[in-house]
Structure 1
Amino acid sequence: MYMPPQFNATDPAIALSLMRAHPFASLVSNDDEGLPFVSHLPLVARQEEGGQLVLLGHCAKPNPHWRYLQARPRAVVTFLGPHSYLSPSVYPDLARVPTWNYLAVHCTVEARLIEEPAAKDALLKTLIGKHEPGYAQQWRDLGEEFQLKMLAGIVGFALRVDQLQCKVKLNQHRRESHAAMHAVYSAGTGDEKALAMWMERLGMTAGTAATEGH
């Protein structure tokens, strides 16, 4: 993605935090005609031994995306964090224009399919453990026959992250706007409040540095 250097968040912990807080991702790869094919689905970001980042998920078996991953394992995954409009009223001078602030992560990945029932069951237990640990017992109580039927209807995958980009666009380069911007976002919508919290995390409320490009 377009990455002005002042918005390039190189700390992997920021990217990982965003992926875990906003796990509903877009998986993008090419279909058999060479066009982009996109699936929107939750992914669990897991760091394996040695620091390798892997994204775990699954899709319905009728979804052809798993076949595209099988034929062409290289793909892109995007995560979108909080985002919101920014009024030029936050600037002390009038010669400014509106913009949109946002946080996003892009991953270049190598896909490995998970098709064996026991491996898919282990994958589902990982996802359950992340999103609703209390459901684990209910899943076990459904019985093996029902579980196998459900497992047959999905294809799991592990997406090894080979390249990672994290964009944090929060008006870092306009220090004169930070105090008013933080005040506006703190009193706004859920996304705006989340942006205000990121400003605090990055130490921007006291006025720091890091263009209005999108």
Structure 2
Amino acid sequence: MSRYAPRRPGDVARFVRREVLGLVTTHDADGFISTPLPLLVETDDAGTIHTIIGHFARANPHVPRVEATPRALVSFMGPHGYIGPAAVSKPGWAPSWNYQLAQFEVDITLEQDQGDAAIRALVEAMEGGAWEPEQMGERYARLVAHVVAFRARVVHQIARFKLGQDEDRATFHEIVGALGDSPLARAMIEQAGDVDAFVAES
């Protein structure tokens, strides 16, 4: 297993649920197109993602594409950043770039009559009941008419969390200290081999 593989079952699902916005890419004889979309995931009992759920605008060129060629790539990019030598006291240390990335090869199925359900599921995930589509009034029905839901079955996935796992303990602490209270620093601590010890020393 790669040293940059997520440490725990369910780490990828937690990462995707935190990021939400994924890049959906399709391809046909005319080339590639990509669209950023807010996406939800379903997992099995072990926390592995098996389905990605979202919706397209009906005018989006992905719609006719996936009807003809369902295979697509969905990518999520998390916190990332350049780590310069000034952050580290170790002689000869080279610059690095830390990041979180998850990619899913999927087969997309359009669900023509599920636009309302897809939007409500996303609103519930983001708002937790604090706001509901009915508050839009008549405009909501017009909006739903212009979207088409989809379910994307995961065929293959790759996750690479390059977050300082190759650094010695002292260098790791220096990098996290240089990053301050940032999403990238928090991601590094989350994926560290001994989070409790790190927190105790910080």
Shorter-chain TM-score: which interval? Answer: 0.7 to 0.9
Residues 56-205 of structure 1 aligned to structure 2 (within 5 Å): 56-116=53-113, 119-132=114-127, 133-136=129-132, 138-139=134-135, 142-143=137-138, 146-175=139-168, 176-187=170-181, 193-203=182-192
Alignment gaps of 5+ in structure 2 = none
Alignment partner of 1:54 is 2:48: no
Contact 1:112 1:158 in 2 (8 A): yes
Question: Does residue 25 in structure 1 map to residue 14 in structure 2?
Answer: no
1:74 is displaced (CA, Å) by 1.0
1:37 aligns with 2:33: yes
Distance 1:91 1:179, change over 3 A: same
Separation in structure 2 between the aligned mates of residue 89 and residue 13 of structure 1, nearest angstrom: 34
Q: Is there any run of 5+ residues in structure 1 with no aligned partner, and where?
A: 188-192, 208-214
Q: Aligned Cα RMSD in Å?
A: 2.4
In the alignment of these two chains, the number of paired residues is: 193
Q: TM-score, normalised by structure 1?
A: 0.80
C-alpha separation between the residues in 2 aligned to 1:89 and 1:16?
34
With over 3 angstroms needed to count, the CA separation of the structure-2 counterparts of 1:78 and 1:137, relative to structure 1, is closer
SS in 2 for 1:79: strand
- What letter matches 1:162 in structure 2? V
Q: Cα deviations across residues 145-182 of structure 1 (Å, max 9, x unaligned)? A: x5443222111111112222111111211214111011
The alpha-carbon distance between structure 1 residues 198 and 49, as it changes in their structure 2 partners (threshold 3 A), is closer
Counterpart residue identity of residue 123, structure 1: A
* Distance in 1 of aligned mates of 2:80 and 2:40: 21
Residue pair 1:52, 1:160 contacting (<8 A) in 2 also? no
* Cα separation, 2, equivalents of 1:202 and 1:114: 37
Contact 2:41 2:50 in 1 (8 A): yes
Quick one: structure 1 residues 108 and 39, their matched pair in 2 at CA, closer, same or farther if it must change by over 3 Å? same
